Structure 1
Amino acid sequence: MFSQKVAQQSLRRLAVQQPYAMRSSLMRASPAAVALGQNIQTRQVTSSPNTEDPTQILVKQRLRRPIAPHLTIYKPQIGWIGSSLHRITGVALSGTLYLWATAYLVSPALGWHLESATMAASMGAMPVLAKVLLKSTLALPFTYHCMNGLRHLMWDLGRGLSNPVIIKTGWTVVGLSIASAVGLALL
């Protein structure tokens, strides 16, 4: 390692003091030597008598690497929590829609009764508290995703990207989505 640094430093000094000296030393090779590849610099191949399993070398190296603290060092903020919840509610809503649509399509073949009249009758037979809880559970992700989607669209237009505005709009989205979810659940 030390000898390489010394060699590099001496080459740099030579290049600075005599810039044409290095160029002329490279140009001494004849065209035939260049064509035959005889002027190519080579280095010694080093190998170690390693008898370890090659797949385990990388595993051992990974165990010695430092681990980044990731999310554990950050104070939770409304900006990144809101964006994370926006993604989570989007996945939950679309996953629920796909499951429901698939069940609705295969229900006649399986003998299930998922038609509108059956669903309305089963909802009507539920106690009021169960209805409100079920509708709130379905309405809250929907209203949050809609309200926060408007916030993200505002950000896409380049508006409201300062920290105070992000905090205000984040808590506004939370309040409006809870209020609208409760309003939908009480219908």
Structure 2
Amino acid sequence: MLAQRAAQQSLRRLAASQPSMLSQMAFKNTLKPLAIGSSTQARPISTQKLTPTDSYEILVAQRKNRPSSPHFTIYRPQITWLNSIMHRATGAVLSGGFYVFGAAYLVSPLFGWHLDSATMAAAFGSWPVLAKVLAKFAVAMPFTFHSFNGIRHLVWDMGRQFTNQQVIRTGWITVGVAAVSALGLAVFV
């Protein structure tokens, strides 16, 4: 890469200089197609001293004029990328929830919190039925979706169900089965 840059710079200097008649003939026949000739554009630059605050304000103003990514306005939402986003989000929610609850359970005796099973069952039992169902659904839906979508990914790893129609169909099946099983877990368990 360095040698390439050096060769380009030397060819540019050669093209910009006023060569002699003999070198003009050699240059015209051999090197001119490779060099950047007099058609090179040059723009005068002017610099000014700016404080870091001023330069940051200019940067903020430039970012406001920058166009936003057009994918939200151009592309129609598809089940493939919605399931991909949801798979990552449910994985983060589930793992984060397990870590937070596990850490809270470990430090609960130090702070006097009652996170033992009997206390939690008694507190959950005192809730209204609708609140219980909604809480169980809120926990079951990420779990079932992440599980069924993970099975879908394992099927893909085996090289099956990978055409566009199959991917779309299995995506909707995953959403449907996850919703029905989460509702079943929330209502009947």
| TM-score (norm: length of structure 1) | 0.68
| Per-residue deviation, 1:64 | 5.3
Alpha carbon RMSD of aligned pairs, Å?
A: 3.2
Find the aligned partners of 1:127 and 1:121 in 2 and give their Cα distance: 12
Identity fraction in percent: 52
Aligned to 2:135: 134
Aligned to 1:26: none
1:177 aligns with 2:175: no
Structure 1 residues 113 and 162: alpha-carbon distance in aligned structure 2, compared to 1, 3 A threshold = same
Structure 1 residues 81 and 47: alpha-carbon distance in aligned structure 2, compared to 1, 3 A threshold = closer
Find the aligned partners of 1:61 and 1:107 in 2 and give their Cα distance: 50
Structure 1, gaps ≥5 residues long: 9-13, 22-45
Larger radius of gyration: 1
Aligned to 2:4: none
| Per-residue deviation, 1:147 | 0.5
Q: Deviations over 1:81-130 (max 9, x none)?
A: 01101111111111111111111111111111111111222233333332
| Per-residue deviation, 1:160 | 2.1
Matched length: 156
Aligned to 1:156: 157
Residue of 48, 51, 55 corresponding to 1:50: 48
Q: Deviations over 1:154-185 (max 9, x none)?
A: 22333222211111101100111111112211
Structure 2, gaps ≥5 residues long: 1-11, 17-24, 33-43
The one-letter code sitting in structure 2 at the alignment partner of 1:83 is: S
Structure 1 residues 16 and 160: alpha-carbon distance in aligned structure 2, compared to 1, 3 A threshold = farther
The one-letter code sitting in structure 2 at the alignment partner of 1:88 is: A
The one-letter code sitting in structure 1 at the alignment partner of 2:84 is: S
Structure 1 residues 48 and 160: alpha-carbon distance in aligned structure 2, compared to 1, 3 A threshold = same
Find the aligned partners of 2:66 and 2:137 in 1 and give their Cα distance: 46
